[in-house]
Chains A and B, each alone.
Chain A
Amino acid sequence: MSAFTLPPLPSDDKRWKIVNGTMRKNGYARHALIETLHTVQSSFGYLDDDAIRFVARSLRVPLSQAYGVVTFYHYFSLKPPGKHTMTICAGTACYIKGTDKLVAAAQEHLGICMGQTTRDGNISLMTARCVGACSRAPVVLSDGEVAGEVTSDQLLAQLERWAVE
């Protein structure tokens, strides 16, 4: 059997070294696939084709399996996020406390649906499967910062602030 050679880094972007670090730490074992994809997403914000190919080849995982894993888990994104991200929690407590009104307000204001990014790339609208702050439902994350008992007015005010930056 010929010795396996690692593929070259996709570019000289330093973030690839961080990705490589995760794989090296795990001895390039196949089971490190999800760990590595987490590193890619946290470094680059999303997973593009180059990244998936690079990770799959480095870990000797078939491309079908790598792509299958990426698309299976909600946490992984194939599209780059906007400059700002507003995440509305879609957990049960938030639903009971009226998340639907927040979703409707945000979608109408930006003219996009949940999961989309405004055309100028400024704001992404996302839903979370529950961030565990249920006691302060409804919960919204503005660029990762958790706010509880959010009203439509507060949410729109945040979107306005981002728009005029």
Chain B
Amino acid sequence: MTIEELEQIATSVRQEHEKYDYEVNVCMDLACASQGADRLREALVKEAEASGKKVLVRRTGCMGPCSSGPLVRVDPAETLYRHVHSDHAESIVASLGGEPVAELQCDLSDHFDKQVRVVLENAGYIDPEKIDDYIGRDGYKALLTALTEMTPNGVIHRITESGLRGRGGGGYPTGLKWGTVSKAGGDMKYVVCNGDEGDPGAFMDRSVMEGDPHRVIEGMAIAAYAVGASKGFIYVRAEYPVAVSRLTTALREARRRGLLGNNICGTTFNFDMEIRLGAGAFVCGEETALIASIEGRRGTPKPRPPYPAVSGLWGKPTLINNVETYANVAPIMRNGGKWFFNMGSERSKGTKVFALTGKITNTGLVEVPMGIKLWEIIDVIGGGVPDGHKLKAVQTGGPSGGCIPADMLDLGVSYDALMAAGSIMGSGGMIVMDDTSCMVNVARFFVEFCMTESCGKCIPCRAGTAQMYTLLSRFCDGSGTMEELELLEELCGTIKDTSLCGLGMTAPNPVLSTLKYFRNEYIEHIVHKRCPAGVCNIKAPVEVLA
């Protein structure tokens, strides 16, 4: 496949689409699919055929505002319909060329206006199982341009210049990582995509892999060219069967088009990749554990250094990036490093995709420029807390992150600001909690998760998370003491300082951040034996003597 051939395909795809007067896009992501988007699409196809109108009914990836699903967008008018069911197919098709269906139409401009779509630019516009749809939207152009017009170092330079940082949560500069792998010696190197998305309450990577799989493949191929790798692995959670199937189809299509394989685009560059299934272990998000798992072993981490960039899969230099990081590569290559650098805040560039969930009106997937204030995400994009409840905290970073209290919503979203506030950027889970959530119970929930997910290799994490859990459980049932609270704080410090890998080192974060901002709730449980949110079952209410 040459650039000319690629452009020919893109042109013919556009010409093909021009044959239609209307495009009816149906969101088929999990949230919409679980509400009958499949039947809806079939009904739309049937109605469209019967109507004699020139209508293209397309299945797409996640459009974003899941709480309004199932969603349908009719182009070119860009009319968005919410809560659409198969019974509505007839009226939607009948309305084409006339007035939109008023009862289904929704105005989510507040939700969309503050968003900037880079990673999700194709979400809602392409059929994830059609490579030509992706090519029609400039797909694989960045790869072929890099292969024919740029040196590997030129690619690394552009990524460095963009200021892109790892989207898995750590925020390590991507260009720097690529540079290290590129400089590492040896004739065999690997690129790995971390699609293990272990944070319970986050689904950004799932949506990207399911909705725009070629974007991930293209990003990995460009990375492989830059660092000198010829083999790749995508490590995907087994809990995401649709992502696995979409990626399998995408890989087959890319090979068929000559975009993977030997001598890609007539150059000497050879690259192909395989999918590896995770098997349900949060720790496998840690890169050395992930490597162990790809090698078919228990996913236990190893001390670093040596870093995988020097000695990774089977001892070879290995580049590991997250799904969203790779998804940013193609647009940076197409639009230039400076374009990306100019988005975002001082030390956090570009955009970030968040899975906005919990007690919020508009749940779903959002992509915002770095630096955006938290209140803009919660109040404007998210539409605020429903049912007259009061916002209490916003949780980011999952079990490794923390809770940011309602009075700190003026915080700008960036790696550094979130860390300074006692949380982390994380991979993109953002869970909104209202006054019905007990922060001691929330801390216990996360600690329980880390306790069950601890791989058991190092003692601070294995025993420490269990001790934290016991203490937090005592607070929750009203039997804890103030001395135990002191002990818990000391324990948090020990676990943070002495654990082997990120799982243990960050496991105390939910406890520390709730202690920092919601200490009074702990005191209420311990001293007054009451749970202010009414969540915890305080066993035996003790009469407080005056």
Contacts and interface: CB of A to CB of B under 8 A. Distances in A.
A73 B239 contact: no
A160 interface: no
Q: Which residue, of B198, B201, B355, B395, has the highest number of chain A Cβ atoms within 10 A?
A: B201
Contacts of A72: 281, 298-299, 455
A136 B363 contact: yes
Contacts of A37: 279
Contacts of A148: 31, 34-35
Interface in A37-87: 37-38, 61, 65, 68-69, 72-76
A92 B431 contact: yes
Given A69-B296, A148-B35, A135 B280 contact: no
A34 B290 CA distance: 12
A146 B34 contact: yes
Nearest to A31: B296
Contacts of B364: 135
Report the interface size class on chain B. Answer: 35 or more
A88 interface: no
* Interface range, A side: 35 or more
A73 B281 contact: yes
Interface string B320-347: 0000000000000000000000000000
A146 B201 contact: no
Contact of A74 (B281, B365, B429): B281
A147 B30 CA distance: 10
Contact of B239 (A33, A34, A69, A131): A131
A137 interface: yes
Interface stretch (A5-13, A93-101, A117-125): A93-101
A7 to B, nearest CB: 18
Contacts of A96: 357-359, 431, 433, 437, 442
A134 B298 contact: no
B281 to A, nearest CB: 5
A75 B280 contact: yes
Contacts of B35: 136, 148
A135 B67 contact: yes
Most chain B beta-carbon contacts within 10 A, residue among A131, A134, A135, A136: A135
A136 B66 contact: yes
A132 B297 contact: no
Interface in B378-430: 395, 398, 429
B43 to A, nearest CB: 19
A115 to B, nearest CB: 12
A130 B437 contact: no
Given A93-B201, A136-B34, A147-B34, A129 B280 contact: yes
Contacts of A130: 199-203, 239
A90 interface: yes
B298 A69 contact: yes
Contacts of B297: 33, 65, 69
A134 B239 CA distance: 13
A97 B431 CA distance: 11
Interface string B21-56: 000000000110111000000000000000000000
B294 A90 contact: no
Contacts of A76: 279-280
A54 to B, nearest CB: 16
Contacts of B446: 92
Contacts of B359: 96-97
Given A93-B201, A96-B437, A146 B30 contact: yes
A68 B292 CA distance: 13
A149 to B, nearest CB: 9
Contacts of A95: 445
Contacts of A15: none
Interface in A132-151: 132-137, 145-148
B282 interface: yes
B288 interface: no
Contact of A30 (B293, B294, B296, B433): B296
Given A136-B34, A137-B357, A35 B277 contact: yes
Interface in B353-385: 355-359, 363-365
Nearest to B210: A132
A128 interface: yes
Interface string A21-37: 00000000011111101
A73 B238 CA distance: 11
Given A92-B445, A96-B437, A128 B34 contact: no
B78 interface: no
B73 interface: no
Contacts of B296: 30-35, 61, 69
Contacts of A129: 198, 200, 239, 280, 282
A150 B364 CA distance: 17
Given A34-B293, A72-B455, A75-B280, A134 B363 contact: yes
B32 to A, nearest CB: 9
B31 A136 contact: yes
Given A90-B200, A136-B35, 7 more contacts: A31-B296, A73-B281, A92-B200, A96-B431, A130-B200, A135-B355, A136-B67
Interface of A: 30-35, 37-38, 61, 65, 68-69, 72-76, 90-97, 128-137, 145-148
Q: Top 8 closest A-B pairs, CB basis?
A: A92-B201, A73-B279, A135-B66, A74-B280, A91-B200, A132-B203, A130-B200, A75-B280
7 contacts: A31-B294, A38-B238, A73-B278, A75-B278, A93-B358, A135-B364, A148-B34
